[in-house]
Every structure is written in structure tokens, then in C-alpha cells.
Amino acid sequence: MPIHLYWGDDQAAQDRAIQSLINQVVDPAWQSLNLSRLDGSNSAEAAQALSEARTPPLGAGDRVVLLQNSPFCSACPSELVAQLEPCLNLIPANCHLLLSSSSKPDARLKSSKALRAVAIEKSFALPAIWDGAGQLDLVLNTAAAMGLQISPEAAEALAESVGNNSSRLAGELEKLSLYCGDQKINIDAVAALAGPSQHNALAAGEALLAGQVGEALLQLDCLVAANEPPLRLLAALTSQLRGWLWVSLLDRQGEQDVAVIAKAAGIGNPKRIYVMRKQLRGKSPDLLLKLMGQLLEVEAALKLGVNASDAFRDGFLMGLHG
């Protein structure tokens, strides 16, 4: 009864894990009959996945039934839940029901509890944009999953270059593997192929906080040129500035408990509050409110179809004279 539960927002890593399982258990000669790819956002296809998972494979190898956008651990219709539970004990040993989703299973649901009791569960969560240690782990884990060796210095440089962009990371590692051949990926290879240190939204936000608008725009231009979605950049900047604003306001009110501040600011790691306090020295909440207002101007421009670089430039440069 092999049931696999894959979830998380790192779609690139999920896709690699899915393909690895398929390569491992499905005979290529029988793949057209023993591999099904279905979409769980369609209730009929979700029900079809349960039916196909109970059907033994034809010929050699195992059967894999992949249900992407699986509804079973989120807002699952009651009729699908009723079909799920009897199905779990009827899946043959040589069939694999693979449920894939971007969101974490809702532990309160009966269907989630039933699946987690029997499934092989793997999470694929991207690190936060400010989580340097998590981004380094992402590089090391992705390289290991791709069968590549990388030096610690090269891993740090690559993490700085790509941040938490998992798709770009996989592409950079593929280029580096071709460049280095059988040799371990080193810092020189990363410098040659993966570009300079990361121009990321986090660095852009820090430049804005320091009043270095030109540096912030340079960072944003580099990200836009690297095909980073402008609205995603805007969301990252907004989240960063909102966190600073909460910390600044609560500090002014005399709040000392970092756990309380972290919870109010929506920051998972309370230890980060100490770093944010240092960044905010000499900065008033009025500055942060002004920057938030400029972000609203950028958002309006982007949604009206203005070129991303122009939208960021006009939003921040015009604000200097406001």
C-alpha cells in the first residue's frame, strides 16, 4: 500500500522527487499504461486517481498514479473523503498513489489524519527570503539530490546568488555540473557562471532603509532582468518593511519581549528581532510609513501595466520630492 504525500512551495524540488520515484518504480517500456498524471482541482480526476490506484499494473514494473493539486489534505469535498478511506486498504503493493500539493496538510481534517497514518510524507518548503542558513541548506540539499558535490565556499556563494529561487538554483547547478565535469563545484566556477553576489529584494529593502535609493533600484533592476516576477519582489519588500514597522512601533511603546514582537510582526524566528533593532537604529516609524506609501504607488503602477523598472524608479524617486 505505497502512498506518498508530497507538499510544499518548492515546486522544482517536488518535481525532481516525483520524477525520481517514477524512474525508480515504473518500467519505461510500460510507462504509457502504468503512469497516470491527474489534476486534483477537478473532483472527477481526484476520484479517478483513487480508482486507478486500486488497479494492478500491466506488464513489468509498478504503477504510479500522480494526483497534483491534491484536495485530500485541504478543502476536500465530503464525497471524496468518503471514497478515500475505504480505498487506502485496497491499493496493491505494486501501485503508488502520489499526492502532491503546495500547501501543508491541514492536521485537523479526518482525511489528513488517515493519510498521514499510512503515507510516506515529504515536505518541500522554500526558506524565507531573509533566511540565509535556510538558503544555504537549500543549495546543499538540491546539489545532493542531483548527485553533485559542491564545496562549502561555492555553496555559500551560490546561495547568495540565487536566494530562495529553487528553479533558478537547479538551472545554475546543471550549468555548473557541465562546467566542472567530474570535479567538485568550486567557488571559481560559481563566480564564472552564476554571476555576482545576489541582488535580492532583502538587500534592496535594506538599501531603502539606509536612504540609498540608487543602490536599491540597482538591486531591483538586476532582479527584474533575471526574470524575477515584479509583484513577488513587491510582496517581499512589503513584508520586510511591515516587519520593521511593527518592531519600530512596539519598541517605541516600550515592549521588550522579543517573542511578543516577533508574533505581532509575523516573524517566525524571534532571534531576528535583535538584528532588526540594529537595522532600525536612528530610523523613525515615519520613514517606514513613507516607504510603505511608495510601495503602494509602485503596486498601482505595476497593476496598470507600467514597465517594472519604471514603476520602481518612479515610485521611489518621486517620493524623494514628496
pLDDT tens for residues 87-133? 888 999 999 999 999 888 988 888 899 899 999 999 998 887 767 78
Helix (H), strand (E) at residue 172: helix 166-180
- Residue 154 pLDDT > 80: yes
For CATH 3.40.50.300, the residue range(s) in the chain are 3-123
- Residue 86 pLDDT > 90: no
Tens-digit pLDDT profile for residues 20-64: 999 999 999 999 999 999 999 899 999 999 999 999 999 999 999
Burial of 299 (0-12, 13-18, 19+ CB in 10 A): middle
* Mean pLDDT of the region 147-159: 90
For CATH 1.10.8.60, the residue range(s) in the chain are 132-193
Distance in angstroms (rounded) separating the CA atoms of residues 171 and 69: 24
- Residue 255 pLDDT > 50: yes
More confident residue, 222 or 45: 45
Q: What is the pLDDT of residue 15?
A: 92
As a whole number, the mean pLDDT across the chain is: 88
Q: Which residues contact 173 (CB under 8 A, 6 or more apart)?
A: 142, 143, 146, 148, 150, 158, 185
Q: In 3-state terms, what secondary structure has residue 4? A: strand
pTM over 0.75: no
- Residue 227 pLDDT > 90: no
- Residue 145 pLDDT > 90: no
- Residue 82 pLDDT > 80: yes
Q: What is the pLDDT of residue 193?
A: 81
Tens-digit pLDDT profile for residues 160-197: 778 788 888 988 999 999 999 989 999 888 887 875 54
Question: Residue 80: which pLDDT band, with cuts at 50, 70 and 90?
Answer: confident
Q: What is the pLDDT of residue 197?
A: 46
- Residue 156 pLDDT > 60: yes
For CATH 1.20.272.10, the residue range(s) in the chain are 201-321
Distance in angstroms (rounded) separating the CA atoms of residues 185 and 236: 30
CATH superfamily label, 3-123: P-loop containing nucleotide triphosphate hydrolases (3.40.50.300)
Q: Which of 42-56, 67-81, 269-283 has the lowest mean pLDDT?
A: 269-283
More confident residue, 262 or 298: 298
Question: Residue 263: which pLDDT band, with cuts at 50, 70 and 90?
Answer: confident
At 155, list the grid cell: 555553496
What order do you get walking across the sheet with 63-68 strand by strand? 35-39, 63-68, 95-101, 3-7, 120-123
Distance in angstroms (rounded) separating the CA atoms of residues 167 and 162: 9
Q: What is the pLDDT of residue 318?
A: 75
* Mean pLDDT of the region 294-306: 94
CATH code of 201-321, in short, is: 1.20.272.10
Q: What is the pLDDT of residue 195?
A: 57
DSSP labels for 126-169? PPPTT-HHHHHHHHHHHHHHTT--B-HHHHHHHHHHHTT-HHHH
Topology of the domain comprising 132-193: Helicase, Ruva Protein; domain 3 (1.10.8)
Question: Closest Cα partner for 182 from 142, 137, 156, 147?
Answer: 147
Burial of 286 (0-12, 13-18, 19+ CB in 10 A): exposed
Question: Residue 274: which pLDDT band, with cuts at 50, 70 and 90?
Answer: confident
